[in-house]
Structure 1
Amino acid sequence: MKQSLKVLLLISLLLTFSHSSFSSNQPIKLVGDSAWEPFYGPNLPEGGFVMALVAAAFAESDSKVKIAYEPWSRALLSTLKGSHDAVVGAYFTEERANQFHYSEAFYTNEIILLSLKSKKVKYNGNLKSLTAYRIGIVQDNAYTPQFDNADYLHKEVVVHPIQNIQKLFLGRIDILVETKAIKAITLYLTNKHYPKRLPEIQILQPPLSQNELHLIVAKNNPHAQLILTHFNRGLKKILKSGQYKQILRRFLVSS
């Protein structure tokens, strides 16, 4: 019996050492979509407000992060293969939940429909009112289950969100589906793309949905629960301390 207790104690100590070593010495390898500005991106200050929030949460547990960017589909696949520890900014889907553990939600994002005022799009909140229009979407993005499964809609797929904006101004689509970080996306469009044409764009009401952003970790990652525990604990701390809101204000983003 004493021998069994010694073995259990040794195992416990080894696990504790392993977890401590992982959290303090090895950076947590994060990956994000290579085309998701203004939420995050390699050319944004601090990687964008989403990465800044995630890094701040991990910092509360003395965990350093290493950030990479890949096309969304590749990011998911490479994380499942072990190249990365976690994917940043995922919406919840039942399909993903079969392969990934989800963190607590750290930001709520609206999914909106954008069009040109000159198009005079008639939308009443019912997706069937959009059957006459060409709708631009981004490859492998999850919007809402109802929209994603609406095969009766005319959807045109692009790889990068800016392609949809270009197609909208060229008259090749009538509507684009986009995420809304309110001031951040307005500044992004103003400063980087078509600033003179920005007044032509209108947001159709009501929004498609409000989606929560999560950190996701592959279920086959042996450190999955530890990573999520550190992140969730850190998230609560930055929310309580006010650091969370400070980061959003720094990036001119609404919570």
Structure 2
Amino acid sequence: MRPFPALLLIALLSAIACLPSQAAAAETVELAIEDAWEPYANADGTGMSNDLVKAAYRAVGIEVQLRVRPYARVLVEVRAGTVAGGLNVAREPSTAPDFLWGQELLFQADAHYYHRSDRPLRAKSAAELQHGERIGVIRGYEYGEQFFRNDAINKEWVSRHAQNISKLLAGRLDAIIMFDKTANLLLTRNGLAKRIVPAFPCESSLIYVAFSLRHPKAAYFAGKLDEGLRIIKANGVHAAIAAKY
């Protein structure tokens, strides 16, 4: 055997061995996401928020591993640094000091007070809720400073939207707060779109991925998410995903 082909083969194999594998090169960020905010975040790990975050990180070459949890548990894990960050957290004075925030908004979630069409609220705006009205809300969610500062209403906290809907139908609540995409989905699915209707707006929530103050790479992953979100907002992917829901 002539030596040249053998030497060439050895050189080629050495070059291939030195190339990093695609799997080894891929970065992965681990995030926690809630399990019960349809259609933003579903129990099976799908939803609008999931799609937006995965698309943003994909745009900068990072894979996402999601831990699906109850919302309260998401916040616990992010604060502890068990994960780099968590979805979907509203950036408000009550939450701002606890987390590291990126610059790019994930999305804005609009919400309303919903009441029974046959038993409407007397109030015509959130500011007029001053008479002990029983308002159903989800434990751990943020509803804006006006809501939290209003001590003239009775805030009744539960874990699931289905509980609030049942209590409203039974006359045990005067109104419930739901984000509009969630309300449209749940009320239509259950044939309740005419029985439970929007009364007036609640404050909109600015939804972010909240990053941990204790995770060693949280600042890095927050910066990469900002970069990816800017890309998908510019190229239309963000709008296309939001429109699906």
1:94 is displaced (CA, Å) by 2.7
Partner of 1:56: 55
5+ residue gaps, structure 1, are 1-22
Verify the 8 A CA contact 2:92 2:144 in the aligned structure 1.
no
| C-alpha distance after superposition, 1:146-165 (max 9, x if no partner) | 21122221111111111101
1:130 is displaced (CA, Å) by 4.6
Higher helix share: 1
User: Does 2:244 align with 1:250?
Assistant: yes
Partner of 2:96: 97
Partner letter of residue 147 of structure 2? F
| C-alpha distance after superposition, 1:198-241 (max 9, x if no partner) | 21121112x12121110111122221221011111111111111
Verify the 8 A CA contact 1:61 1:234 in the aligned structure 2.
yes
> What is the CA–CA distance in structure 2 between the aligned matches of 1:140 and 1:55, rounded to whole Å?
24
User: Does 2:204 align with 1:203?
Assistant: no
Verify the 8 A CA contact 2:109 2:205 in the aligned structure 1.
yes
Partner letter of residue 56 of structure 1? A
Verify the 8 A CA contact 1:79 1:218 in the aligned structure 2.
yes
Partner of 1:8: none
After TM superposition, the score normalised by the length of structure 2 is 0.83
> What is the CA–CA distance in structure 2 between the aligned matches of 1:74 and 1:120, rounded to whole Å?
35
Partner letter of residue 118 of structure 2? S
- Larger of the two Rg values belongs to structure: 2
* Alignment root-mean-square deviation, CA: 2.0
Verify the 8 A CA contact 2:132 2:152 in the aligned structure 1.
no
Q: Would the alpha carbon gap of residues 24 and 65 (structure 1) be closer, same or farther in structure 2, given more than 3 Å must change? A: farther
Partner of 1:17: none
3-state SS of paired residue (2:204): strand
Verify the 8 A CA contact 2:72 2:140 in the aligned structure 1.
yes
Verify the 8 A CA contact 1:127 1:147 in the aligned structure 2.
no
> What is the CA–CA distance in structure 2 between the aligned matches of 1:217 and 1:38, rounded to whole Å?
22
> What is the CA–CA distance in structure 2 between the aligned matches of 1:201 and 1:75, rounded to whole Å?
30
Partner of 2:184: 186
After TM superposition, the score normalised by the length of structure 1 is 0.80
Q: Would the alpha carbon gap of residues 124 and 172 (structure 1) be closer, same or farther in structure 2, given more than 3 Å must change? A: same
1:185 is displaced (CA, Å) by 3.9
| C-alpha distance after superposition, 1:133-188 (max 9, x if no partner) | 2111111211011211222211111111111011111111110011112xx64234
> What is the CA–CA distance in structure 1 between the aligned matches of 2:39 and 2:65, rounded to whole Å?
19
Partner letter of residue 30 of structure 2? K
- Note the 1:1-255 alignment, pairs <5 A: 24-43=25-44, 47-103=46-102, 104-181=104-181, 185-191=183-189, 194-195=190-191, 197-205=192-200, 207-251=201-245
Verify the 8 A CA contact 2:83 2:212 in the aligned structure 1.
no
Q: How many residues align?
A: 222
